[in-house]
Amino acid sequence: RKSVVRITTGSQALDELLGGGIETLCITEAFGEFRSGKTQLAHTLCVSTQLPIDMHGGNGKVAYIDTEGTFRPERIVPIAERFGMDANAVLDNIIYARAYTYEHQYNLLLGLAAKMAEEPFRLLIVDSVIALFRVDFSGRGELAERQQKLAQMLSRLTKIAEEFNVAVYITNQVIADPGGGMFITDPKKPAGGHVLAHAATIRLMLRKGKGEQRVCKIFDAPNLPEGEAVFQVTSGGIMD
Ligand code: ADP
Ligand code: MG
């Protein structure tokens, strides 16, 4: 039986909210407005995952699927230095791929599974999990097909998490009208509807606070108490 590994976010407050950090064996979703820190958290996890277990890391490699073109290798450098790690070694252990269509995104996952069978990975990032679906299925009447393909993708992610004891961190957008209907029901709803709600074990809502402050709220998580944590986005990544 595989045992859960918890990977530090870089913020003690956020780690405590999460019961120790981002967990392997399941999907953690972060959604929130533009600039709420979803991608910066992804960058920090790229580094912290490589820390030894006794430093709250995962002692493993990272796979990063980027659908929005927002990964910045130069951001990894100060984050690695902040954790006292060699930046080049850290960058070498991040397998990066840019996806341009939802099919491309899916096929990348198949290739990654083969890689994970050979090397010790502890984190898979998909930033963002839904952007390409919203582009590729933007037409009227395409929602049902989109949701079906999205479900397929998410089930593949769950399988990877469980098979390789990997933490899957996905980011999601907020939308005004989740149902595609006529009425704005909740401007802070995550995209992806019930399909995403079902697949993501831990759902985090991020929002901006004062200055560099960000707030993370547990939106849905079966084993975590409700609560919020305040953290900062800095040059060295996520911090208290
Ligand atoms: P999201 O992915 O949720 O849209 P990001 O994770 O890209 O948001 O967060 C962007 C924010 O992160 C910026 O607005 C800025 O406040 C902060 N940020 C990015 N890089 C740095 C840095 N080098 N130093 C400090 N803050 C930064
Ligand atoms: Mg982003």
Q: Whole-angstrom distance between the N-terminal and C-terminal Cα of the chain?
A: 34
Amino acid at 8: T
Provide the pLDDT for residue 179: 53
Q: Name the residue with the closest Cα to ligand 1, atom 11.
A: 35
pTM of the model: 0.95
Q: Is 214 in the pocket of ligand 1 (CB under 6 A)?
A: no
Q: Is the pLDDT at 177 greater than 80, yes or no? A: no
pLDDT range class, residue 146, cuts 50, 70, 90: very high
Mean pLDDT, the chain, whole residue set: 94
Ligand 1, from 11, 35, 36, 47: best to mutate by most atoms within 8 Å of Cβ? 35
In degrees and rounded to multiples of 5, residue 26 shows phi and psi of -155, 175
For residues 180, 185, 188 and 193, what is the CA-based torsion angle, rounded to 10 degrees?
A: -40
Ligand 1, from 75, 127, 205, 233: best to mutate by most atoms within 8 Å of Cβ? 233
In degrees and rounded to multiples of 5, residue 192 shows phi and psi of 100, -10
Provide the pLDDT for residue 2: 87
Q: Which atom of ligand 1 is nearest to the CA of 233?
A: 26
Residues 6+ apart with CB under 8 A from 151: 195, 199
pLDDT tens per residue, range 86-98: 999 999 999 999 9
ipTM of the complex: 0.98
pLDDT range class, residue 133, cuts 50, 70, 90: very high
Token look-up 């996890």 returns 45
**Closest of 32, 143, 153, 41 to residue 99, by C-alpha:** 153
139-153 mean pLDDT: 94
How far apart CA 13 and CA 19 sit, in angstroms, is 10
Q: Is the pLDDT at 8 greater than 70, yes or no? A: yes
Q: Which atom of ligand 1 is nearest to the CA of 36?
A: 3
Percent share of the chain, pLDDT over 70: 95
Residues for the chain: how many in total? 240
pLDDT tens per residue, range 30-88: 999 999 999 999 999 999 999 999 999 999 999 999 999 999 999 999 999 999 999 99
Element housing 152 (H / E): helix 143-164
How far apart CA 231 and CA 115 sit, in angstroms, is 34
Rounded distance from Cα 164 to ligand 1 centre (Å): 30
How far apart CA 200 and CA 50 sit, in angstroms, is 23
Rounded distance from Cα 2 to ligand 2 centre (Å): 31
Provide the pLDDT for residue 105: 97
Q: Which atom of ligand 1 is nearest to the CA of 127?
A: 2
pLDDT range class, residue 181, cuts 50, 70, 90: low
Half-sphere exposure of 25 (CA within 13 A, CB side): 6
Percent share of the chain, pLDDT over 90: 91
CB atoms within 10 A of CB 112: 20
User: What does DSSP assign to residue 53?
Assistant: G
Residue 2: helix, strand or coil by DSSP? coil
The two three-digit tokens of residue 202, written as one number? 């831990």
Q: Is the peptide bond before 48 cis (omega within 30 degrees of 0)?
A: no
pLDDT range class, residue 139, cuts 50, 70, 90: confident
Q: Which atom of ligand 1 is nearest to the CA of 206?
A: 3
